[in-house]
Amino acid sequence: MTSTTPTRATEDPAIAPAVAQALATVRRNAVTFAGSYPDDTTRAGRYPLRPAGDGFGVGANRGWTTSFVPGAQWVAWELSGDDGMRDAALAHARDFARRVREGDDLETHDLGFLYSLSCVAPWRLLDDEDARSAAILAADHLMRRLLEPAGIIQAWGDLSDPQQRGRTIIDSLMNMPLLTWAAEQTGDDRYADAVRRHTAQLRDHILRPDGSTFHTFYWDTETGAALRGATEQGAHDDSCWARGQAWGIYGFALNHRALPDAGLLEASRRCADYFLDRLPEDGVPFWDLVYTDGSDAPRDSSAAAIAVCGLFELAGLETDAARAARYTEAADGILTSLITLYAPGQSDESDALILHGVYDLPKGVGVDEGTLWGDYFYLEALARRTAGPSWRPVW
Ligand code: GLY
């Protein structure tokens, strides 16, 4: 990579049509799914309704991905000023407030993804008090997952589940901004302290010496000792799951911005350097970074979209100008590839914003499909590129 000045949105004729096409799809999906939620991923290019199960009906607000729907609508409103997007997102905020108050499917660290996008966003954009109180309630639920003496937030499952006890995952970095926001809102340092301790544990253990990351890591819940890394969605325990590495770039950078902690900045840089060194020609990673150019393994476009947002964030925090230019240039290049090679040719060809994502290849779930989170981060990346460094993400 060189350190030439990257092309910015205003000079790039590809951006405006890409934004227009993405907005058309978000608008169409808001009509298709009004009052209900699509599934995590497309099936043959179309999102089905979220299936029924675990006591929930078809299209219900459950799981970790439903907030990417209002998240994309808030970004669409910011980009277009279309009040239909604001109203659709506000209706979702009401349903997320109901979800947390009724205690529906809250046994997860993903409360950060869920409530930053659905409820912190309307508080930030519209001073919506109902959304604010729901987001603080969600932050309180998340705090119940803080395990002592390890000082980590358990990722999945009931806290008494022996399979999940003491386990956290790299994605959890993206759930910390809800706690950072709750600390700012309430003045209660317990939230910020949890962020400090959890992120330090990930910095020291989930990041490997070579800059790659484990997907998940276990701690001893009695002694607090760090035990071992393992994968759940990657190729094998010692491989580097591409989306996890992208969560690392973005998550370490966001938590550095909040704390700040030079070790977290360095962790984000190391995740970025490892990720960028393993990209194939078109800049969109294979689903696991053990695969490189020449492989016919599926790509994960969602990892690319997350990495673009993370690289833009990292570039904005960089203390080294050459690195900042390099990360911005890399983000611009990956985003251009997503626009030209991974977005559907026509906005009605698929109701995903980008094609060719992977949810969970080892379990055969959502392979070579659009994903709700890939769509959200693609739109966030377009917003960052359109508005430039002054654009403020919800995280
Ligand atoms: N946070 C879950 C995933 O990235 O699949």
Task: Annotate 219-276 with DSSP letters as a single string.
Answer: E-TTT--EEEEE-SSSSSTTS-BHHHHHHHHHHHHHHHHHS--HHHHHHHHHHHHHHH
9 has pLDDT over 70? no
Please list the active-site residues. 110, 171
Distance CA(391)–CA(294), nearest Å, equals 37
Distance 374 CA to ligand 1 centre (A): 10
Q: What is the DSSP letter of 368?
A: E
Determine whether the shortest distance from the Cβ of 171 to ligand 1 is under 6 A: yes
1 has pLDDT over 50? no
Residue 11: pLDDT band by 50, 70, 90 thresholds?
A: low
96 has pLDDT over 80? yes
Q: What is the pTM of this model?
A: 0.96
Residue 348: pLDDT band by 50, 70, 90 thresholds?
A: confident
Q: What is the mean pLDDT of residues 364-375?
A: 98
Determine whether the shortest distance from the Cβ of 243 to ligand 1 is under 6 A: yes
Q: Name residue, tokens 């639920």.
A: 141
Report pLDDT for 66.
98
In contact, 298 and 361? CB cutoff 8 Å: yes
Report pLDDT for 14.
80
Q: How many residues does the chain have?
A: 395
Distance 371 CA to ligand 1 centre (A): 10
Distance 2 CA to ligand 1 centre (A): 32
Q: What is the mean pLDDT of residues 389-393?
A: 91
Closest ligand 1 atom to Cα of 359: 5
Determine whether the shortest distance from the Cβ of 215 to ligand 1 is under 6 A: no
Distance 3 CA to ligand 1 centre (A): 32
Tens of pLDDT, residue by residue over 293-303, are 999 999 999 99
Tokens of 194: 């949890």
- The 3-class secondary structure across 299-350, one letter per residue, is ECHHHHHHHHHHHHHHHHHCCCHHHHHHHHHHHHHHHHHHHHHHCCCCCCCC
Q: What is the mean pLDDT of residues 332-344?
A: 97
Q: What is the DSSP letter of 61?
A: S
Determine whether the shortest distance from the Cβ of 62 to ligand 1 is under 6 A: no
Nearest CA to ligand 1 atom 5: 359
Tens of pLDDT, residue by residue over 19-77, are 999 999 999 999 999 999 999 999 999 999 999 999 999 999 999 999 999 999 999 99
- Beta bridge partner(s), residue 299: 286
12 has pLDDT over 80? no
Tens of pLDDT, residue by residue over 149-164, are 999 999 999 999 999 9
Determine whether the shortest distance from the Cβ of 300 to ligand 1 is under 6 A: no
- The single-letter code of the amino acid at 180 is T
Residue 208: pLDDT band by 50, 70, 90 thresholds?
A: very high
Q: What percent of the chain clears pLDDT 70, i.e. is strictly above it?
A: 97
Pocket test for ligand 1, best of 41, 247, 358 (most atoms within 8 A of CB): 247
Tens of pLDDT, residue by residue over 166-193, are 999 999 999 999 999 999 999 999 999 9
Residue 346: pLDDT band by 50, 70, 90 thresholds?
A: confident
Distance 232 CA to ligand 1 centre (A): 10
Determine whether the shortest distance from the Cβ of 40 to ligand 1 is under 6 A: no
Domains of the chain: 17-390 (1.50.10.10)
Residue 7: pLDDT band by 50, 70, 90 thresholds?
A: very low
Report pLDDT for 222.
96
Residue 4: pLDDT band by 50, 70, 90 thresholds?
A: very low
Nearest CA to ligand 1 atom 2: 171
Determine whether the shortest distance from the Cβ of 109 to ligand 1 is under 6 A: no
Q: What percent of the chain clears pLDDT 90, i.e. is strictly above it?
A: 94
